[in-house]
């Protein structure tokens, strides 16, 4: 049986390919090129729009070295146009709205499990495979399960997929812990065995996030204020801050205030004001309900309403007990207890035990009847 595996040049996808070959599959590697720094430099009329370099060439070389070690072919495909249209423009639009987006979720939905899957069909495979820490269970229906390694589980990022997208997908490393994956890489003498895990967003590369963002969105400095109306300083633009953020405020050690850290507790796009408060557990950081946009379930017939479920509001956040209701066409999520820093733009992903049911993007956040200024 033939399988086309997405090879990113990292240890997880390298081991995925190795495990598939061990299992006797006819393995074909496919490297995705999703970003072109030079081509994107002046798309927005700014010749300096992207001075950062995503280390794709090194990643491709690493993937090529792994493919050679395993004795499998490696092909390269360009999804730059699709990535810009379906992922990056959304990323920018959400920041313009004052939100904190998660582009990896849409990258999976539109690139890795759509554009990639369609291109893989040219090789006439039985399956496609990725190096995600997740599992697929096939029976009466196709279900997405958490990865065996709960600390590395990536179902949060796969929550916008559908059962039809997952029917022919394999996640070889989903049955292993990260420690096991490193061990297998060493056993196979893979060049990526000791390669560090990638962090952050590929297209930003090694460049500071705020510097990158300023090249695409104009900075709009404004006032940093308390809820009582005291002005404490000036922010660099609301897009650079997220709810619950502590670092980068530049307002520590103010006279007349307790010696406690300051956190972002709200934004007002109309007045371009950033609101801050003291203390990790500031009351304005806690909410008990939210509404969702673009809710998608793995099983299109899945009913979430009035069930006892758990949800994650950020990657690696703890599961929270919730109930979902559809009210006047809007999906509302009610928490069993107040939850800290539920942030518009992030995903709310639902689980029934080990099974990931799907999720949506957080739109509005509430505390009681009060709409939080997030």
Active-site residues, by number, are 107, 202
How far apart are the C-alpha atoms of 252 and 248, rounded to whole Å? 10
For the chain, how many residues are written? 374
- Residue showing tokens 């090129």: 33
Show the DSSP H helices in 40-177 as ranges: 56-70, 80-83, 89-96, 103-106, 116-120, 163-166
Contacts of 348 (CB under 8 A, 6+ apart): 290, 292, 311, 312, 313, 333, 342, 359, 360, 361, 362
How far apart are the C-alpha atoms of 41 and 37, rounded to whole Å? 6
Question: Would you give the DSSP letter of residue 305?
Answer: B
Concatenate the DSSP letters of all residues of 241-285 into one string: --TT--TT----S-TTS-S--EEEEEEETTTTEEEEEESTT-GGG
112, 6 contact by CB (below 8 A): yes
């Amino acid at each position: 049986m033939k399988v086309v595996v997405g090879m990113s040049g990292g240890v997880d996808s390298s081991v995925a390919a190795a495990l598939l070959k061990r299992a006797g599959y006819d393995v074909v590697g496919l490297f995705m090129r999703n970003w072109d720094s030079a081509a994107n430099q002046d798309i927005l009329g700014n010749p300096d729009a992207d001075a950062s370099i995503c280390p794709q060439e090194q990643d491709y070389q690493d993937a090529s070295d792994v493919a050679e070690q395993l004795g499998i072919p490696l092909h390269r495909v360009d999804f730059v146009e699709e990535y810009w249209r379906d992922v990056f423009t959304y990323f920018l639009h959400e920041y313009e709205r004052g939100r904190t987006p998660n582009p990896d979720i849409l990258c999976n939905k539109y690139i890795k499990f759509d554009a990639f899957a369609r291109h893989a069909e040219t090789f006439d495979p039985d399956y496609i495979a990725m190096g995600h820490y997740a599992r697929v269970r096939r029976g009466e229906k196709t279900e997405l399960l958490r990865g065996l390694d709960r600390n590395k589980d990536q179902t949060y990022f796969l929550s916008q997929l559908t059962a039809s997208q997952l029917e022919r997908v394999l996640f070889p490393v989903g049955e292993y812990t990260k420690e096991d994956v490193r061990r297998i890489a060493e056993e196979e003498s893979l060049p990526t065995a000791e390669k560090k895990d990638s962090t952050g967003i590929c297209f930003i590369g090694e460049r500071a996030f705020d510097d990158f963002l300023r090249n695409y969105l104009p900075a709009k400095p404004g006032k940093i204020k308390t809820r009582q109306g005291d002005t404490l300083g000036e922010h660099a633009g609301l897009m650079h801050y997220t709810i619950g953020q502590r670092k980068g405020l530049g307002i520590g050690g103010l006279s007349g205030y307790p010696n406690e850290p300051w956190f972002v507790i709200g934004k007002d796009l109309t007045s371009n004001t950033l609101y801050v408060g003291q203390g990790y557990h500031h009351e304005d950081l806690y909410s008990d309900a939210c509404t969702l946009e673009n809710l998608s379930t793995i099983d299109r017939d899945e009913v979430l309403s009035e069930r006892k479920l758990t949800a994650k509001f950020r990657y690696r956040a703890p599961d929270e007990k919730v109930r979902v209701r559809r009210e006047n066409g809007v999906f509302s999520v009610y928490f069993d207890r107040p939850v800290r820093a539920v942030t518009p733009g992030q995903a709310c992903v639902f689980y029934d035990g080990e099974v990931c049911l799907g999720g949506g993007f957080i739109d509005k956040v509430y505390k009681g009847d009060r709409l939080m200024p997030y």
